[in-house]
Amino acid sequence: MRQDKRILMIGTGGTIASEITDAGLTPGFSTEDLLRFVPSLESLCTVDCMQLCSIDSTNMTPDYWLKIAAAIRERYDDYDGFVVCHGTDTMAYTAAALSYLIQNSPKPIVLTGGQKPIHMEVTDSKSNLLDSFGCACDGRIGGVQIVFGGVVISGTRARKTYSKSFSAFSSINYPVLGVVREGKLIPYLIPERDERPTFYDALNQRVALLKLVPGGSVDLLRLLLRENDAVIIESFGVGGLPTEGGYLEAVHAAAQEGKVVVMTTQVQNEGSDLGVYQVGHVLKDAPGVLEAYDMTTEAVFAKLMWALARTRQPEELRRLFYTPVAADLLGAEE
């Protein structure tokens, strides 16, 4: 690993940068402050710092995703890799969004953070930061990725599955890209990459998410369809809608208005399959209905925002949604 690598560190706040206050943990440390806790990074590479914001990741929004992507785009030629320090609670959403806004990057774009603030005696923040810079300097795994708890996860496949444990993130329906052992990256999968990335600078934020519950009212779905261009429905099992209560009628009416419904599942692993049961089969070829298959909800949410910002034409939207990006989709039958 060469020591002349240049890495841009982008700070957004999060637990890793939080201080203890009377009101609870609050982001307060800058990127320069974080570096002081891991002085050994100086032997790895040259680091430049950029503080984009200092927020709890609960306050992360698509507007910040666009700012992060723009910051990387403006400085892309100046650095060998990028490390984004981010809160864990919405990190998977940000990683997914950046995977669509910055596609096929040959350079690593690493997101990391911590379950405990970096200044605490017992913390995972220091090791996560060291591992992330190691992956960014190594360069063999390009593209958007989360490096956390010693594993490297594709930005479109990550989900926070533990609220407190240091191994907070899992790779859903897809293998991890690699692991970090004693500071060294061991790649398992090296994604294909172009010579230059493709950047995008727009997201349609009129996307909503509805989680079905037994006996839930269709009125909430109607409201979300009225107020948004697309609604993701997290259904039960392999997918479907209740045959009573007006759900099917609401979906069909929305399709006539050009709205989009994506059917996914609340079950974390193995994805959807609308063709299995009658409650799902009736939606297989329904106008305006798409199926998530093995995609994560985080990836579906971000991909819809990206695709809807590019087109509102049903066939083109369908093509964009079912075209794999950064290994986000394996099981589609389209």
Which residues have a catalytic role annotated? 15
Q: What is the Cα–Cα distance from 288 to 315, expressed in whole angstroms?
A: 10
CB 116 within 8 A of CB 299: no
DSSP readout, 245-309?
A: SSHHHHHHHHHHTT-EEEEEESSSSS---TTSSHHHHTTTT-TTEEE-TT--HHHHHHHHHHHHH
Q: What is the Cα–Cα distance from 134 to 196, expressed in whole angstroms?
A: 22
Structure-block tokens of residue 66: 């666009």
Tokens 């998530």 map to which residue? 292
Give the full edge-to-edge strand order of the sheet including 108-112: 46-55, 6-13, 81-85, 108-112, 143-148, 151-154, 178-181, 184-187
Q: What is the Cα–Cα distance from 233 to 208, expressed in whole angstroms?
A: 9
Structure-block tokens of residue 182: 């004693």
Structure-block tokens of residue 57: 């990741």
Closest CA to 168 of 266, 92, 56: 92
CB atoms within 10 A of CB 269: 9
Strands 24-27 and 18-21: antiparallel
CB 305 within 8 A of CB 204: yes
Q: Rounded to the nearest 5 degrees, what angle is found at the Cα of 155, between the Cα atoms of 272 and 269?
A: 25
